[in-house]
Amino acid sequence: MIASICRSTVLVFVIGAVMVCGAERSALEWLDAMNRGFRTLDYDGVFSYQSGADLTTLRVVHVVIDGIEHERLIHLDGARREFIRRGLEITRILQPKDKILELEKAVPPTRFVQAFSRRLDAIDDLYRVELNGLGRVAGRRAIRLSIVPLDQDRYGVGIWLDHATGLLLRFERYDLRGSRLERFQFGHLTIGGIPRTAVIPEEHAGEIKTTMKLESRVEPHETQRIRWRPQWVPRGFDNYPSNISQAMGERDNVDAMIYTDGFAAFSVFVQAMPNRREVNFERRNGATTVITRTLQGPMGKNQLVTVVGEVPAKTAKKIASDMVYVR
């Protein structure tokens, strides 16, 4: 995890600085401010995202208009791509022959807000959250927090929050040995005073637009029937029913399940294999682990299990190897 030098001295300094602003905040109160900031503030920034050896640069614009969130996510590297969100409606704007068009069966993009805002319920049972000093990101004063896992089934997290607003400025994920796996960081950021026109996409010849509607979270009984389920998942990872897993199941006859503990998420996919050959595949890119295993289903038919998400390989393997068929 993030090194801490003279922790007690730094902590006194942080608390004193916060008290000068009017009220002392605990680490959990800072996390709550982060969640609210992403949803309610107007901001326009350029950030880099690094996962393993991959590095990309994006711009995000977020404006709340008449109580509805409007968001624009623009890829600044490689193929021209934009994702526009108005409330729960997402429009994807791509260029012809973009490789992402070959991944139509992949999980659709989530909102930028969802990707970096985390739920706080029951977090004390899973992580130790600590104030870890002051920093500076994108020219802005920042509060640093360390989020340390209490078991071996999840990664640690370090975050830097804007001292004035609580907005997330930098996010890092670490493995169990303290090595950094992925990083998100603003290089330039403007908070407040963002014109509404900033969320309107530019027009380009030949672009391909597709629009989808994200539903609000649905209750488990409203989802499609899942035939395969993991017998074991790490403590604190709850099944998150969604229209994404519903859509995949209805379209591709795939059992798709999404689990999250609030700071990390993983998905489990089970589908019939076209032949009897066995497939065993393991890969990690940054914080994302992909594990595939072959298991035998009803009437001796092979099934392909894929676990992909922000969990250690050992954890993903255990999930993939311990599936049960629900009749």
Give the whole-angstrom CA distance, residue 304 versus residue 81.
Answer: 32
Identify whether the C-beta of residue 183 lies closer than 8 Å to the C-beta of residue 172: yes
What tokens were used for 182? Answer: 């992925």
Indicate the pTM of the whole model: 0.80
Taking alpha carbons only, the member of 151, 74, 144, 152 closest to residue 112 is 74
Q: What is the DSSP letter of 92?
A: E
What would you report as the CA-atom Rg of the chain, rounded to the nearest whole angstrom? 21
Q: How many other β-carbons are positioned within 10 Å of the β-carbon of residue 96? A: 9
DSSP secondary structure letters along 185-208: EEEEEEES---GGGGSPPP-TT-E
Give the whole-angstrom CA distance, residue 230 versus residue 238.
Answer: 12
- Residue 121 is predicted with a pLDDT of 60
- Residue 242 is predicted with a pLDDT of 55
Neighbour-count burial of 22, counting CB atoms closer than 10 A to its CB (0-12 exposed, 13-18 middle, 19+ buried): exposed
Q: For residue 257, give Cα distances in angstroms to 111, 269, 308, 319.
A: 19, 7, 11, 12
Give the whole-angstrom CA distance, residue 156 versus residue 264.
Answer: 10
Q: HEC string of 217-255?
A: CCCHHHCCCCCEEECCCCCCCEECCCHHHHHHHHHHCCE
What is the total residue count of the chain? Answer: 327
Q: What is the DSSP letter of 139?
A: T
Q: For residue 164, give Cα distances in angstroms to 18, 33, 100.
A: 10, 10, 38
Taking alpha carbons only, the member of 283, 225, 296, 17 closest to residue 134 is 17
Bridge pairing between strands 89-94 and 208-213: antiparallel
The pLDDT profile of the chain, 327 residues, written as one tens digit per residue, is 333 323 332 333 333 333 334 347 899 899 889 988 988 999 999 999 998 888 999 999 999 999 999 999 999 998 888 999 999 888 889 888 776 654 444 444 444 545 554 556 668 889 999 999 999 999 999 999 999 999 999 999 999 999 999 999 999 999 999 999 999 999 999 999 999 999 999 888 888 888 877 655 544 444 456 688 899 999 999 887 655 444 444 445 788 888 988 888 999 999 887 666 677 889 999 999 999 999 887 777 888 999 999 999 999 999 999 898 887
- Residue 105 is predicted with a pLDDT of 40
Q: For residue 92, give Cα distances in angstroms to 24, 46, 294, 314.
A: 42, 19, 34, 35
